[in-house]
Structure 1
Amino acid sequence: MTVHFVGAGPGAADLLTLRAADLLANADVVLYPGTYLDEGFLVHVSPDAELVDTQDLDLDQIMARLVGASRDGLEVVRLVSGDPSVYSALTEQTHRLDQAGVEWDVTPGVPAYAAAAALVGRELTVPLVAQSVVLTRAQARSTAMPAGEELASFAATGATLVVHLAITRTRELMDELAGHYGVDCPVVVVHRASQPGQLVLRGTVGDIAEQVELAGLRQAAVILVGRALEPDDPAQSFLYDPARDRSQKR
């Protein structure tokens, strides 16, 4: 049988893809990260399915459930928050499934940063302001960052930054970014985007840390940094410029 890795989106039940909802409805076993997901998404799961909250399980325990259920001939969904392509531990899990001879596939989901940008109605790539988005994280009680992926290196490009897994280090990060973006650069922090307890904080590099600390945020938040969040008189995209010659395909 197949283990389906499914992006659960930012947590709201109605932000699952149609494919994800169908897989959940037909699953015999569903493993889900209870720390990050609103339990409302379980409405898509069959009442006969076994539910396993993985927030207190280590990788060995999770893999034992995945492999065991598959070998028992059961359809398994492994839900991951956001999209499986980013910070989902997909690589190590699928590597172990390959070693065990278990089939698997991946269904994408709405990434948390996209849900955060949607909440505040902002495009992260604005003409002549920022045309690149950097997805990164901070390192504290987690795997070390590879050499060359220092936050300052990304900040030097002026791209819009999306920082995951870093909310407890907001003040330290803003101190590091101030020299590149300026203390007046817009920052948005979104906690539990799309879920009942969602919280949006708007500020600047200079003052967002105080807001985060006053709100007591410790997890499940994404930090967006960049001038694209509040562009001054944004330029018009060449793609839609009336003067553009549309007789050419490119």
Structure 2
Amino acid sequence: MLASAALAQNDFANHPLLPSGYSSIKVFDNRNRFVGRILPDKRYWVPIERIPAFLQKAVVAVEDTRFYEHGGIDIRGIARALMKDVAKGRMAEGGSTITQQLIKNRYLSGVKTIERKLDEARMAMEFEKKYSKKQILEMYFNEIYYGNGAWGIAQAARLYFDKNPEELSDAECAQLAGVQKNPARYNPLGKAANVTGRRDVVLKRMVELNIITPRQSLKLRTHPSSTVKTGQAP
């Protein structure tokens, strides 16, 4: 077992839902390189009730379609990722569920090895036995990185749209739902073609899953950008 995973297992049982239960969260970029840690005093914890239902549905649609069906790992997703790995001749990070992404950022190193992936899968299944899907989503939204120094949905909503999470429009939620794939590239202050392209991927997936209609998707795709800043975020 990886040393980092062993350390994570030691404090796993004492890891509560609320941020007061831990000292920091590990953050990795889209290439699994360690970026740093987010400390509790740098982040605002938002209860799931204040996170728009549209945003929750959008993230599940694009990040983990079978989130409410699996027990921490998605066998079909893993199989698809494995086939891509074989085709590319290297190990990629695809196939991770929302729960696995949460586990990776909280407990594991960013090193891509089969051993680490096994640790991640096992811990994700244990995590799902301890927490409800609602709690896991709440933790996920409060711990993911949205780019430009924004940690969690509260800071992202304030930085990009000068709003509280519950005030976000569906169009704004669609933008934020696409950020996690690559925060540096897809955050709302990024290059317009990248941001709108990723947003459209999110909306297309929501249409495919019958969450929204094609007409609703078209309306959201033509919605003008409402970001606070047009230049680089501080």
Q: What interval of TM-score do these two structures reach, taking the shorter chain for normalisation?
A: under 0.3
Larger Rg, first or second structure (1 or 2): 1
**Structure ranking higher in helix proportion:** 2
In the superposition, the TM-score normalised over structure 2's length comes to 0.28
